[in-house]
Structure 1
Amino acid sequence: MNLSLRTATASRARRRALVAMLAAGVVLTGSIIGSPLEADGAAIKYPSWSDVQAAVKNQHVAQQQVAEITKLLGTLKSNAAAAEKVAAQRGEELQEAQMAYDEQESKKEQLQAQADEAERVAKASETRAGQLAAQLGRSGSSDLTSDLIAHPGQAGSLLYRLGAMSKLTEQANGIYADAVQAHNTAQGLTDQAKVAASALNDLAAKAKTALAAATAANEAAQAAVSEQSANESRLEAQLAAIRAKRILTVASYNKGVQARAKAAAAAAAKARAAAEKASGLTGVPSSSGWTKPAGGYITSGYGWRVDPYTHVRALHAGTDLGASCGSPILAAASGTVIYAGPYGGYGNFVLIDNGNNISTGYGHIVDGGIMVAVGQQVTVGQQIARVGSTGWSTGCHLHFETRVGGVATDAVPFMAARGVTL
């Protein structure tokens, strides 16, 4: 067999092998991982590896393929960025709605407390006025003129009694007037508290709607990022294959992907172990099934304050724990994740429904540090995120909230009642 015939035979053999590999699925195809994003109303179409192989052999096709892949990469990044922007906006709306609800609840409680105090004062004044009225009745005859005529020798004593009764009457009238005023004040404050309570219903509905919108937007953003991650490395590998004029098989491609994933997982595990060691957290729950969510001491407590970031007086609905950057955030109790994503001034945020009308929130999580998803079941002490300084934050810390009936409450006594010291 001459050289040209052997070459032709070998070439045909390689083509048959390539066709067999393609038929067997050995060479990568352009199948899409997950749900494809929409581009101009149609699903994004990715080039297959057979397209790449053809492009390797034809310089003109190669240039077209490079342009197409580069455009797809740009579309992926653009879609992901747009989805993340929408998610951030919905998260901000959710945080504002929850803050308005918490502040209104706080004002309603203050008004009701003032109303209760005014009512107490009114009742005390009524009691005192009644006592004076009784004392006035015991001071003597109601007809002092007759007594004066009948007992002229006791005129001095009778006149003294008359003056004393006049004084008692003045005091009784004054105290009664105070009681009436206190009653009116109590009623006014009670009416204001009822108005505030009525407004709470609207605010609660808005917060619920905002939570649903934010959750949907965040899921869309995660899908966009997943789409980008799933296809970006493939497209870049295809570009490299075209430029290097080589064919990449499933085996070599997957080997590289697995190696990078393994290295990343090992690095993440090492970082988590170091962070856990530095924080001193054990994650061991108390007898009531609760645990401290992060390391560090309290740097800012619950209550009204001038926000160190916005410099505006507002309700600080949580308790800040000065944990170090990247250190673990643990689920304070077992439950179901009902939100995980951007949350306005709280930065990246996770909200867990812990059952019994109780929920816990974790804010300022580092970018990329959320380790759970909506609907996921978590156990007490499980790491759900890493500490960061996102949102309205001046340094790494955990903003920790405890909510009862959807309303934020002071986490220090709440956790203390469950055997946990923050």
Structure 2
Amino acid sequence: MSTSPSLSLRNRSRLVAAAVAVALAGSTLAVLAPVTSASAASYPSWSEVQKAKSSTSAQQAKVTEIKSLISTLKSEAAAKQKAAQAAGEAYQAAQNKYDEATLEQKTLQSQADDAEQTAAQSEEQAGQLAAQLGRASANDVTTDILTHPSDSGDLLYELGAMSKLSEQADGIYSQASQDRGTAQAQADKADKAKAALGDLADAAQSKMQQAQGAADAAQTAVDAQNDNESRLEAQLTALTTKQRGVEADYRKGVAAEKARQARIAAAAAKAAAKAAATSQGGTGGGTANSAGWVRPAGGFQTSGYGIRVDPYTHYTALHAGVDLAPACYAPIYAAHDGTVTFAGNGGGYGNEVILDNGGGISTAYGHIVDGGIMVANGQHVSAGQQIAKIGSTGWSTGCHLHFETRVNGAAVDPVPFMAARGISV
């Protein structure tokens, strides 16, 4: 979610002072913030402000009204942003639960497969022993008794050997039965875990959609504040002060602010270009390879996929992606063609973008800098297209991209996933 940068206090005073000059002189209002039809219906016009100055009571009432509107703008924006943060955290928790359950199910399935192989080997060994017992049956011992009645020592030896063989057979059959029971128990656990994944996937998807709705509502509230607060404060100043000769200062202030913003943008662009050109560990973007994939950012991998102690929360948890760290404000690229399915506050993911890349595959890009999301929900993007800028929002201890690859909504290790598509991360 992006927000417009705040003006400096000095420039802001120039803005409102100039607004007074413009209002008092009856000049055009085009230099002020644009007024949409919605805001025109909701907020006082300049003619209403001038009319209110005709009496002390009307003036005071209009001052109270404008102060209330400014307060409402701020509180609504703050409340919506807080709701977006909460919705993002709920989405993150649901996604983490799904990812961890998927990893556990895969582990259980692997254990079940190993147990099945062990059981099959035990049963094969038991079968081989049964065949051996069939060949050396008790009939051979009976024949020896009838044909060699005096060879008692040999007879006792054969009877003892048969007894030992029978004991061995009992042990092998018992082990085979135990191994088969273990295999079945592991298979049942894996099946139960797999059955639970569907509900977890649905919950994660639902929470993501709710988070997107909350992010959109927060952006709307912030936009309303940005569009109307300066105008309302200028009207308030017009009602409560008498200032003259400030229009020139206003224009200088606007020009200085534009120049400052331009310098900030140029510095960020320069830093991003330098990061893209000099980052070690691989560069991002560029032309997609034959499989249609690109590296999502430059920089070394600073943390891989797997269970770890989270450096932010200090709890052991699944790190469901890889971290790439070229530099703050460095570009983030779409790893593959896709459609934006999420662009907003992702809780611990910070500002996040998720792309549906088709075929059950999706990619996620987290910790984007405030104001650094460059795409919107529902937008189609191409592989290598810049979609955001690297930041350190959410549960982050430094500027980096948290990159995830998901299959049917569940995170998988991006290293082998991307390697299979010709990309090293």
Confirm or deny a common fold (TM above 0.5). Answer: yes
Shift of 1:402: 0.3
Residue matched to 1:170: 167
Residue matched to 1:357: 360
Residue matched to 2:399: 396
Q: 1:350 aligns to what SS in structure 2?
A: strand
Among 278, 282, 285, which residue is 1:283 paired with? 285
Q: Which runs of no fewer than 5 residues in structure 1 stay unpaired? A: 1-17, 37-42
Deviates more, 1:63-72 or 1:111-120: 63-72
Residue matched to 2:18: none
CA–CA distance in 2 between the matches of 1:50 and 1:248? 20
- Residues 49 and 238, structure 1, Cα contact 8 Å, conserved in 2: yes
Residue matched to 1:40: none
Q: Counterparts in 2 of 1:22-421, with a 5 A limit?
A: 32-33=35-36, 45-54=42-51, 61-139=58-136, 141-142=138-139, 144-152=141-149, 154-242=151-239, 243-245=241-243, 264=261, 267-280=264-277, 281=283, 283-284=285-286, 285-421=288-424
CA–CA distance in 2 between the matches of 1:95 and 1:28? 43
- After superposition, give the CA deviation of every residue in 1:305-351 in whole Å (9 maximum; x if it has no partner): 22222222221111111232222222212211111111222122111
- In the superposition, relative to structure 1, how do residues 291 and 254 fare at CA in structure 2: closer, same or farther (>3 Å)? farther
Residue matched to 1:9: none
- Residues 32 and 231, structure 2, Cα contact 8 Å, conserved in 1: no
Q: 2:98 aligns to what SS in structure 1?
A: helix
Residue matched to 2:15: none
Q: 1:366 aligns to what SS in structure 2?
A: strand
- Residues 404 and 411, structure 2, Cα contact 8 Å, conserved in 1: yes
- In the superposition, relative to structure 1, how do residues 305 and 372 fare at CA in structure 2: closer, same or farther (>3 Å)? same
- Residues 349 and 361, structure 1, Cα contact 8 Å, conserved in 2: yes
Shift of 1:359: 0.7
- Residues 276 and 298, structure 2, Cα contact 8 Å, conserved in 1: yes
Counterpart amino acid of residue 383 in structure 2: V
- Residues 30 and 46, structure 1, Cα contact 8 Å, conserved in 2: no
CA–CA distance in 1 between the matches of 2:262 and 2:337? 25
- Residues 108 and 193, structure 1, Cα contact 8 Å, conserved in 2: yes
Counterpart amino acid of residue 322 in structure 1: A
- After superposition, give the CA deviation of every residue in 1:14-54 in whole Å (9 maximum; x if it has no partner): xxxx9xx89xx867899853756xxxxxx972111212334
- Residues 362 and 400, structure 1, Cα contact 8 Å, conserved in 2: yes
Q: TM-score, normalised by structure 2?
A: 0.82
Residue matched to 2:9: none
Shift of 1:262: 7.6
- Residues 29 and 49, structure 1, Cα contact 8 Å, conserved in 2: no
- In the superposition, relative to structure 1, how do residues 359 and 256 fare at CA in structure 2: closer, same or farther (>3 Å)? farther
CA–CA distance in 1 between the matches of 2:397 and 2:93? 19
- After superposition, give the CA deviation of every residue in 1:286-312 in whole Å (9 maximum; x if it has no partner): 222211112221111111222222222
Deviates more, 1:147-156 or 1:168-177: 147-156
Q: 2:393 aligns to what SS in structure 1?
A: coil
Q: 1:137 aligns to what SS in structure 2?
A: helix
Q: 1:142 aligns to what SS in structure 2?
A: helix
What root-mean-square deviation, in Å, do the aligned CA atoms of Structure 1 and Structure 2 show?
A: 3.1
- Residues 351 and 393, structure 2, Cα contact 8 Å, conserved in 1: yes
Identity across matched positions, percent? 55
Counterpart amino acid of residue 225 in structure 2: Q
- Residues 271 and 329, structure 2, Cα contact 8 Å, conserved in 1: no
Q: 2:344 aligns to what SS in structure 1?
A: strand
Shift of 1:158: 4.0
Deviates more, 1:265-274 or 1:387-396: 265-274
- Residues 284 and 296, structure 2, Cα contact 8 Å, conserved in 1: no
CA–CA distance in 1 between the matches of 2:306 and 2:337? 26
Pairs aligned (count)? 393
CA–CA distance in 1 between the matches of 2:33 and 2:290? 53
Q: Which runs of no fewer than 5 residues in structure 2 stay unpaired? A: 1-22, 278-282
